[in-house]
Amino acid sequence: MTKKSKLEKIYKVDYEDGYYLFKLNSILDEKQVSKNSVIEKKNIDFNSMQRLIKGELSRVDLGVIAKLCNEFDCHIEDIVEYINNNDTK
């Protein structure tokens, strides 16, 4: 069995003139914790967590982001980041 690279754990979602990178799955893998353990420990709704992992959302719950940033000692851009295509040219 081959281990997935870090990039395979990041979901890219195109939006207007750029794209979002949803990196929560990569953080979970790096920290070697399951999403279910984080859901239980931080009292996060399973569907909210799943949508945040896969980028299948239209609104971000800042309470969930704060819980995850506290849990993983990270910043919001470590979890979700917006890249403007104009900035990459």
pLDDT at 2: 37
Tell me the mean pLDDT in the region 48-74: 94
Q: Where are the domains of the chain?
A: 6-88
CATH code for residues 6-88? 1.10.260
**74/62 Cα distance (integer angstroms):** 14
pLDDT (average), residues 15-31: 94
Identify which of 12-16, 58-62, 75-79 has the greatest average pLDDT: 75-79
Distant-in-sequence, close-in-space partners of 55: CB < 8 Å, separation ≥ 6: 11, 12, 13, 20, 22, 80
> What is the mean pLDDT of the segment spanning 9-24?
93
User: pLDDT tens, 66-80?
Assistant: 999 999 999 999 999
d(CA 71, CA 68): 5
pTM summary value:
0.84
